[in-house]
Amino acid sequence: MRTLEQTTQEVLDLAAKHFQLPAGSLAPADDFFKKLGIDSLQTLEMLSRIENHFGIELPDYEVQGVSDFRTLAERIQSRL
Amino acid sequence: MLDLSKYQSIGQALKDALDQFADEVCLIEADREREKERLTYRDFKECAHPLARALQDAGFTAGDRASIIMTNQSKWLISAYAIFFAGGTLVPLDYKLTPDEQWQLLKHSGASVLITEYPIWRQLSASVGRVAAANVRTVLVTEAPANAELSGALRWEDFHGAGEPRFVSRVRKDTACIVYSSGTGGRPKGCMMTHENYLEQCVALTSIYPFWPGVRYLSILPTNHAIDFMVGFFGPFTCGAAVVHLRTLRPEYVREAFPKYKITYVSLVPLVLKNLQKGLQARFDALPPAKRKIFNALVAINKALTKSKSRPGISRRLLKQVHEAFGGELRAIIVGGAFTEPQTLQFFYDLGIPVANGYGLTEAGTAITVNDLKPFRADTVGKPLPGMEVRIMNPAADGVGEVSVRSKTVMSGYLSDPELTAETIVDAWLMTGDLGRFDETGHLLLSGRKKNMVVTEEGKNIYPEDVEAVFETLPVKEFCVFAANYIWPKRSMTGERLVLVIHLDPGQQYGEELRQDISARNNRLLNYKRIHGVVVLDEDFPRTASLKIKRNVLAERLASLEGASAILPL
């Protein structure tokens, strides 16, 4: 079972890879809309990649209003 | 299609539709790759009637208000029908608002019933805003887990009355829905839409984009939005067509839905349409040179053949692979909620996929103008729909003035706000606040906005007053939020931004600490509501005797500044 810290790190790594950013360039508190300059649709695309990695399904309502990696990791952790 | 001129209300028309099209499929609901539900009109009636009866047993009667806060799904439409059947007024609210905003609008609407889904209720019931909305007496929650704590709510699935419900008649001038076009920041704008508004709008729209049994509409825009309510519920239902709901809007599942369900129509906001364009363009660019050459030639032939009118049959044969990706049955993409760039519209039309571009606002009953494809014009928002009188008020020398509308589809007014209603509807003409002109062929060309607001590419209306609360304790002398396009008008309907205008205390500097404070507060807002820059004004804001900021006077003062250099990026 992963810890929240491990989950958060994996989310950051996946997001960096998805948006072709250098590893370590993202932080848990980063607002992904602002930091990555992405829209809600691009966020959904990123989520699909994250779901595949963790082998979970995150319903759309679970990520409604979430805009930072730490909160996203918490939502994922609750479903692991 | 039912002859809607004979009907008095939405409920009466839907009631007949359920009988007339009893054996047709009306709803398909899918969750990722799984199909969850497929209902005929007969099944739909069997689900909705016990709910209507239970509402009546609970005392719900003519004119009572019931709100729905749900993502798009079968239960949304079943609940709405039960409310109309029982003579109620529907208050559809945006599920993307915060719980406090939702309670605020629930209070304002006077709704006595709330129908919502469990994950939303979990947040709503924990919100402090609940205390204020004591008018909400009955809460029905869908899909709650077996042992879930419901905080006083009842399970939607168990809320069944025994026996047939009694159909409650309404007349055309009665309010059918209260639709909030904005106003979560203090002055809610609850558009009172009458049954007549919907009946007339449906006739006008389906005269250009018809539905019939067998048509499948993919419902992606939230159903609380005026467009989806009309083309994703009332329109298809009165014609015996089917609506497809997806419980997740991940792009890959949306893409799959087109071929899987042979979608005929879909409505999208410009942002999604542009994203679709980007994806397709990337695929075209990746074609090997020889194939690319052939593809470009086919597009050129299609363009030539569809110049004067859309020819779906020919386009589907010429550009088979593109059309197969969309299921091969797609007749049009309806785009709305915000302005769409002409080059995006043209891109799809050149592929033989017409985009039904139009212009409208909730207050006008969804659409005012729409492109009738005779011929297709990417540079305009089309011609007025049948029954719409549109005129340009006080046109300047170039013909541009404020667009105003008179029609049976215009709302009766804003709930509990006669002052705002009087400002907005003048001698039966709805003043849209949008600027435009007609060309010689009768097409409307929009060229900017007169009102202090922005509309995002996702179709969200943002009024500056709605975002000011987050800056309330900011350590400055005074502040105000404006739409930059309102202060520095530009002849464009895109790229609109909000700016924060601050007046510093004596001796105070706009330094890094203050910038960070503003930025942190800004980040608390939903991403589409955020300000994009700061204007520092070194003078007192003009105020009324009751110390309210005179926004229009302040805007005039700001207009004398050079917009581009006055706005400091955050």
Whether A65 sits inside 8 A of B96 (CB atoms) is: yes
pLDDT at B344: 93
Provide the shortest C-alpha distance from residue B518 to chain A (in Å): 14
Average pLDDT over residues B94-114: 93
For residue B499, give the CATH number of its domain.
Answer: 3.30.300.30
Residue A67 at interface with chain B, using a CB cutoff of 8 Å: yes
Contact A61 B271 (CB under 8 A): no
Local structure of residue B232 (DSSP, 8 states): I
Structure tokens at B8: 């008095």
* Residue contact A34–B523, C-beta within 8 A: yes
| Percent share of chain B, pLDDT over 90 | 76
Residue B421 in any domain: the answer is no
Question: Across the interface, do B271 and A64 touch by the CB < 8 Å criterion?
Answer: no
Minimum-distance CB partner of B96 among A41, A44, A64: A64
In sequence order, what DSSP letters do the residues of B459-506 get, joined into one string? Answer: --EE-GGGGGGGGTT-SSSEEEEEEHHHHS--S-SSS--EEEEEEPPT
Q: Environment class of residue B511 by beta-carbon count within 10 Å: exposed (0-12), middle (13-18) or buried (19+)?
A: exposed
The answer to whether residue B482 is domain-embedded is yes
Beta pairing, strands B113-117 & B138-142: parallel
Contact A40 B117 (CB under 8 A): no
Q: Which amino acid is at B326?
A: F
ipTM: 0.80
- Virtual torsion, Cα B440, B445, B451, B455, nearest 10 deg: 160
- Cβ pair A62:B523 closer than 8 A: no
* Residues 6 or more apart whose Cβ sits within 8 Å of residue B183: B189, B190, B463, B466
Query: B239, B261, B283 — which closes off a domain?
Result: B261
Q: What is the pLDDT of residues B134-163, one digit of tens each?
A: 999 999 999 999 999 999 999 999 999 999
**For B285-344, how does the pLDDT look when each residue is reduced to its tens digit (9 = 90+)?**
999 999 999 999 999 999 999 999 999 999 999 999 999 999 999 999 999 888 888 999
Q: Please name the helix (run of DSSP H) or strand (run of DSSP E) that holds residue B356, with its range, or none.
A: strand B355-361
Would the pLDDT of B380 be above 70?
yes
Question: Taking CB atoms and an 8 Å limit, are A44 and B250 in contact across chains?
Answer: yes
Q: How many domains are contained in chain A?
A: 1
What's the confidence (pLDDT) of residue B267? Answer: 94
- The tally of domains found in chain B comes to 2
Of residues A33, A41, A59, nearest to B248 (C-beta): A59
The residue of chain B nearest to residue A59, with distances taken between CA atoms, is B248
Residue in chain B nearest A44 by alpha carbon = B250
Determine the Cα–Cα distance for residues A32 and A41; give it in Å rounded to an integer: 12
**What gap in Å lies between CA A50 and CA A13, rounded to an integer?**
10
Give the integer Cα–Cα distance in Å for B437 and B447: 8
- End of a domain among B261, B295, B310? B261
| Separation of alpha carbons B191 and B188, rounded Å | 9
Distance CA B216, CA B539 (A): 58
Q: Could you list the residue range(s) of the whole structural domain that residue A69 is in?
A: 4-77
pLDDT recorded at residue B377 = 92
Please provide the average confidence, as pLDDT, over all residues in chain B. Answer: 93
Q: What are phi and psi of B330, to 5 degrees?
A: -65, 120
Nearest residue on chain B to A62, judged by CA atoms?
B119
Q: Is B81 helix (H, G, I), strand (E, B) or coil?
A: helix
Q: What are the chain A neighbours of B271 within 8 Å (beta carbons)?
A: 39-41
Q: How far is A73 from chain B (nearest CA, A)?
A: 18
DSSP 8-state symbol, B549: B
* Cβ–Cβ < 8 Å for B135, B106: yes
User: Which of the two residues, A43 and B50, has the higher pLDDT score?
Assistant: B50
pLDDT band at residue B186 under the 50/70/90 scheme: low
Give contacts of A 3-62 with B, CB under 8 A: 31, 33-34, 39-42, 44-45, 47-48, 57, 59-62
Structure-block tokens of residue B198: 């919907």
| pLDDT tens per residue across span B427-485 | 999 999 999 999 999 999 998 888 888 888 777 778 888 788 889 889 999 999 999 98
Q: What is the pLDDT of residue A24?
A: 87
Which residues in chain B have their CB less than 8 angstroms from residue A33's CB? 527
Quote the percentage of chain B above a pLDDT of 70. Answer: 99
In-domain check, residue B473? yes
Pairing label, strands B138-142, B154-155 = parallel
Kindly indicate the confidence band of residue B183, based on its pLDDT and cuts at 50, 70 and 90: low
Helix, strand, coil % in chain B, rounded to nearest 5: 35, 25, 40
Q: Between residues B128 and A67, which one has the greater pLDDT?
A: B128
Per-residue pLDDT, B456: 81
* pLDDT the model gives residue B185: 59
DSSP B510-544: --HHHHHHHHHHHHTS-GGG---EEEE--SPPPB-
Compute the nearest-CA separation of A45 from chain B (Å).
7
- Please state, in angstroms and rounded to a whole number, the distance separating the CA atoms of residues B431 and B411: 12
Q: Which residue among A41, A64, A65 places its CB closest to the CB of B251?
A: A41
Distance from CA of B221 to the nearest CA of A (A): 13
Local structure of B33: helix, strand or coil: coil
Element of type H or E holding B215: none
- Write down the pLDDT at residue B256: 93
Nearest CA in chain A to B119: A61
DSSP H/E element including B366: strand B366-370
> Which residue from B534, B478, B527 is spatially nearest to B506, judged by alpha carbons?
B478
| Residue B56 pLDDT | 98
Instruction: Give the CATH number for residue B31.
Output: 3.40.50.980
> Which residues of chain A have a CB within 8 Å of the CB of B252?
48
The CA-based diameter of chain A, rounded to the nearest angstrom, is 32
**C-alpha torsion sign, points B386, B243, A40, B121:** positive
What is the distance between the terminal CA atoms of chain B, rounded to a whole angstrom? Answer: 53
Q: Quick one: pLDDT at residue B513?
A: 94
Query: Cβ separation of A44 and B458 shorter than 8 Å?
Result: no
Task: With beta carbons under 8 A apart, name residues in chain B contacting A43.
Answer: none
Instruction: Return d(Cα B518, Cα B531) in angstroms, integer.
Output: 9
Per-residue pLDDT tens over the stretch B514-551 = 999 999 999 888 878 899 999 999 999 998 777 778 88
Under the banding of pLDDT at 50, 70 and 90, the label for residue A42 is confident
* Cβ distance of A62 and B119 shorter than 8 Å: yes
Q: Do B120 and A61 touch (CB under 8 A)?
A: yes
Split at pLDDT 50, 70, 90, the class of B367 is: very high
Chain A residues touching B32 at Cβ < 8 A: 57
B8-31 pLDDT, tens digit each: 999 999 999 999 999 999 999 999
Q: Residue B184 above 60 pLDDT?
A: no
The most confident of the ranges A19-23, B78-82, B306-310 is B78-82
Instruction: Report the C-alpha gap between B27 and B47 in whole angstroms.
Output: 12
Task: Please enumerate in sequence order all residues whose Cβ is within 8 A of that of B500, keeping only pairs 6 or more positions apart, or say none.
Answer: B471, B479, B480, B481, B518, B531, B533, B534, B535
Taking the mean position of all CA atoms in its chain, how far away is CA B108? Answer: 20
B11 versus A21: the higher-pLDDT residue is B11
Residue B375, preceding peptide bond in cis (omega within 30° of 0):
yes
Q: In the block, which residue shows the tokens 């009355």? A: B161
Q: What is the CATH number of the domain that holds A47?
A: 1.10.1200.10
Per the structure, the complete domain to which residue B101 belongs is given by 4-261
Distance CA B392, CA B371 (A): 19
Of the residues B261, B293, B317, which one is the last residue of a structural domain?
A: B261
φ/ψ bin of A65: left (φ > 0), alpha (ψ from -120 to 50), beta (otherwise): left
Residue at B417 is within a domain: no
The answer to whether position B33 is within a domain reads yes
Average pLDDT rounded to a whole number, residues A43-65: 86
